[in-house]
Amino acid sequence: MDIQSVENFLDKFDYSYERVGDILFIKMDFYHDVIIDFSNPKKILIKDQLKPCNFLTGCFRMSLKQAILFNIIFTVVASLLVGFVDVYVGLILFFGLMLWGLLWSILYISKYENLRYILINRLNRAV
């Protein structure tokens, strides 16, 4: 897999991306970027990053793994703080925030892993 074949694939399927040197920044839906680093030809890195204004972390920029951990910690802390005042509202907040985080995490992970799978498997077959 080389950077030119990835760019051809992205152009063919109308992905919006930006190339900075040996790094491709692929813009996904809902403020999500997939970053492919070709600087080391022996080891191509594929990472993800949530931009600010996303549905998982709000105004923070972080990876999906960090966002999921952030959501779990935030949900537990917020639910405990509200639960000290009213247990019923704390439980509703806990389950609501967990459901919100779970649904958005599934969406982001499925889009990221699907693109990653396509890039790794289909482009390696073309070589």
Give pLDDT tens digits for 32-65. Answer: 999 999 998 888 899 999 999 888 888 999 999 9
Confidence of residue 23 (pLDDT cuts 50, 70, 90): very high
pTM of the model: 0.86
DSSP codes, 25-90:
EEEETTTEEEEEE-SSTTS-EEEEEEPTTBTTTBT--B-HHHHHHHHHHHHHHHHHHHHHH-HHHH
